[in-house]
Structure 1
């Protein structure tokens, strides 16, 4: 698919024309002027990072799918084989709860899943709704999607038949849309009994990348997409991920481990201290810092939350599917295990997420996309010491896209870049320096100080 260079050149020209007026706007902001809190971000590098997001997410998503729902725990004492450990990496995959005794057909062994340069990555539910949201923002030339745009997009691009790769809250929201209901009512607990499920975590992280260095704006533009399927704690968890993605653009001389920990602790601030997501975060971080192996931390989380339902995490009262294995909470806790113990290393993070249990392709896709963005396309290829396919087939799971659903990561990154231009100009009030091809973005003083 050819990149629409006319749109790109026109938009850059528009940004350049508005540079002086935006500078005036920034100078009139006495608080930011007093703080002197700005960051510069290379637009060229950002495009490569967006490519890295899609590639990293696909590698992690398809690797995590090998073990998806293999291990969800059996309520009670853990027995040998109830969960995977690091010793299981490279060994034969075991059947999932719905596998009817048949292991995954993606790989006979628990290992990375790659697509060679002559192959094509397929869409999955961890990538396809994000793809739809990016497409809607791009084609509607907007920073903020409306209820009508979201509903019309879902109805156009999602198949109505039973095998449409939707689950729980996403499926319920889609059913409500077909009945004439618009977001955010599609995520209203009174209409959608699955509001506490994992769905919004899969579909909205990308909004953080559209608002670099500004998680406040990221959560603003992601608000309606999140509420399309989520409320309460599941909504807060989704905001946590969006915040992590927004902070990923901030580069420092810190190590990847230090950056990840700083980002996570910054994102923790949006969680309500008395809520179970906040307590899950604090508990997982405490066990990680104690030096426990990740397997013991995972097992402790299983006992504390899935078995004993502590800290207000009551999966029984929420009537969650398959003992909560699709619930926002338990998968949030599992994702923190791979995030903390992965320590910013792409391979290790994906490995731990794949082996941790439950909906294992979701945390892997989330952190694979995040770290993939942070290290970019070249960083991913260097990590794995190989090249990958750049082609993506959205029609594996969705429909009605141009070019019979075939796309490239270059084109997907280009569209994301144009959306980021709009958000920085219209929502953030940033400045584009055309000579240096950088964005100048006003940020909170605390963020600015932590970068030094």
Structure 2
């Protein structure tokens, strides 16, 4: 089918599909209840389901590419089956000897469909659900060194060079960014957040960016939505629709999901739909020619969506289609198996798939209640599956409490979970905010405040970045509506307190909207042209800041959030650029900072002898980077625990005539590079104020930024 004709049918059927797949109340917010027994059973079935799918798919992994497996695989196959079936199989390695592996291990064994989640479990137990990229990097370096390939292998190697996610998954650094990898290692986030769909999707996407980028993370987000929603929703068509709706409109994976939903509605045979997936999404994704398409994110992810729809909620049929579709099929089968496990619980998984894998005897309990870890270093080798399930349940309980839910114990323990799915939520508040901002703009006489109202509205309505609206965005918007109905409408809020104005402009380099915070000095006078100027570059939010609303809305709430020291001190004009989010101030992000400076300089004249740039972590690395490129501008630079990456003595020497403030934690992973920069600077005779903070890891401490601000006051050109 031609591309234009296919697109015609795609959009023609969108309305029909929404009617067919979505009922009006499928995304309603509110409290949902589930007993502890039922929640634990679903978590247990998720783990079993992944194991079943993994081992069913093993013999056929990457074997069938152009065509699917000629029969439907509905049980475990081994090399012994080659006597009776004319099939291609991975007959020369362990993947076709699952029965022997089961005998040798005495239960289940680790593979990348479960063992990276096994590491994530340990990581979250150590650092909490808000684990950062720096912390997950330490866990990867300690535990993930063998049995990893392509995108994971490259991400791990990049960590050795000092990079941390999302740089390790960026297409600029990782040549395998487009692969399926992220989808098969992040399902656990949705199990940590049962029914908390936006939280699950956000954290799974965070995990996906460790090794993948761009549209390759969209399948991860889609499956995260389905997994989390499946704790309370068992209609697979609704789950698929909710997942598609959560993706950016321009996503090729979303377009593919809509195609698959349409093809499912007109084709009774899944093989006809598989053929269409192959014709439309195998070799190319948009204008990107996939180097090794059988392991790519889109074609594999869509094969899983096909299996979920045609499987119609039946575990054996769903996993069987996922395996038989071919490509990197053990991964699809594991992901689909985990999802169907959550939907149907342990009783929904056929007994033979839980007990009859070994060749010598059947197990008495699923997988002999054993998970042998032989692939992840410095973690327990022998594990009881029941213990793994209980550990996940403990984290899920914490997530429930952290997100407004509760645990009630009477006769049975019952969890009340806040459903945060945002597809159609808070529309009245969002529309009310847009209307209010337009009204405030029309009436305002002060040009900066008028531009502020316009910029916030631009941020709310922004389509240039194709970023899906989330429940958190809705919450921000609702709170911002309250703020702008009250103090946010008044000029003195921004001149007397620590609230920034939002400035927006159209990027000259790519035509997209760019934003920055603008803090005014106390008692700001527009006729004064010798205020000092400060620019702070933000640290990494682990990908969260890629959504501008996540950063920019924070100080526009009734309870202020996210403002750093200079925002309260109000000693000069101070900007805090978005910089396209967590992009490490390179490429378009670098251009964004230069364009922010140009936009600011067009609005204000400041004291050329008092110009300061600084930042923490990624922002500290960015400050070092920009100080080298624009050293004629800056009076001093501040680097707090800078994520500096690789640099040379000559690069450091470029700052020999610029005062440098540099501090870091004694125990943090960035200590060595910060010490090296300090030593290089001292060796060339630079003016350096430095300190290694005892017994501190990578942590922002406000008292040290206060020290930096005091130090800046002493530095003039």
Q: Name the TM-score, length of structure 1 as normaliser.
A: 0.77
Q: Count residues in correspondence.
A: 379
Show CA shifts across 1:233-266 (max 9, x none).
Answer: 1112111111111101105xxxx5xx11111111
Pairing 1:82-101 to 2, within 5 Å after superposition: 82-86=67-71, 92=85, 94-95=87-88
Change beyond 3 A, Cα 1:83–1:37? closer
Check if 1:123 corresponds to 2:110: yes
Alignment match, 2:188: 206
Change beyond 3 A, Cα 1:416–1:36? closer
Alignment match, 1:178: 160
In 1, Cα distance between the equivalents of 2:347 and 2:29?
A: 33
Alignment match, 2:144: 158
Pairing 1:342-421 to 2, within 5 Å after superposition: 342-382=311-351, 386=355, 387-389=365-367, 390-395=369-374, 397-402=375-380, 405-421=381-397
In 1, Cα distance between the equivalents of 2:104 and 2:347?
A: 15
Alignment match, 2:303: 334
Given the alignment, which residue of 410, 434, 440 partners 2:409? 434
Check if 1:61 corresponds to 2:54: yes
Segments of 5+ residues of structure 2 without an aligned counterpart are 1-27, 75-80, 356-364, 426-717
Alignment match, 2:207: 225
Alignment match, 2:65: 72
User: Helix, strand or coil: the match of 2:147?
Assistant: coil
Alignment match, 2:256: 280
Deviation at 1:94, TM superposition (A): 4.0
Alignment match, 1:139: 126
Contact 1:93–1:103 (Cα < 8 Å) also in 2 = no
Alignment match, 1:3: none
Change beyond 3 A, Cα 1:278–1:415? same
Pairing 1:218-367 to 2, within 5 Å after superposition: 218-251=200-233, 256=234, 259-307=235-283, 309=284, 312-316=285-289, 318=290, 320=291, 322=292, 324-367=293-336
Structure 1 range deviating more: 125-134 or 382-391: 382-391
Q: Name the TM-score, length of structure 2 as normaliser.
A: 0.50
What's the RMSD between the two structures over aligned residues?
A: 2.8
Change beyond 3 A, Cα 1:338–1:177? same
Change beyond 3 A, Cα 1:287–1:104? farther
In 1, Cα distance between the equivalents of 2:54 and 2:296?
A: 18
Q: Which has the higher helix share?
A: 1
In 1, Cα distance between the equivalents of 2:151 and 2:408?
A: 42
In 2, Cα distance between the equivalents of 1:43 and 1:217?
A: 20
In 2, Cα distance between the equivalents of 1:92 and 1:207?
A: 39
Show CA shifts across 1:168-226 (max 9, x none).
Answer: 11111100111121122211221112211111101111101111111111123334322
Show CA shifts across 1:337-379 (max 9, x none).
Answer: 2111111111011111111010000110001011112222333
In 2, Cα distance between the equivalents of 1:210 and 1:431?
A: 15
Please tell me whether Structure 1 or Structure 2 has the larger radius of gyration of its CA atoms: 2
User: Helix, strand or coil: the match of 1:439?
Assistant: strand
User: Helix, strand or coil: the match of 2:239?
Assistant: helix
User: Helix, strand or coil: the match of 2:69?
Assistant: coil
Alignment match, 1:20: none
Contact 2:168–2:174 (Cα < 8 Å) also in 1 = yes
Change beyond 3 A, Cα 1:444–1:228? closer
Contact 1:226–1:238 (Cα < 8 Å) also in 2 = yes
In 2, Cα distance between the equivalents of 1:56 and 1:147?
A: 29
In 1, Cα distance between the equivalents of 2:350 and 2:247?
A: 35
Segments of 5+ residues of structure 1 without an aligned counterpart are 1-34, 74-81
In 2, Cα distance between the equivalents of 1:416 and 1:229?
A: 23
- Which structure carries more relative contact order (alpha carbon 8 Å, separation 6+)? 1
Contact 1:210–1:416 (Cα < 8 Å) also in 2 = yes
Change beyond 3 A, Cα 1:273–1:149? same
User: Helix, strand or coil: the match of 1:325?
Assistant: helix
Q: Which has the higher strand share?
A: 2
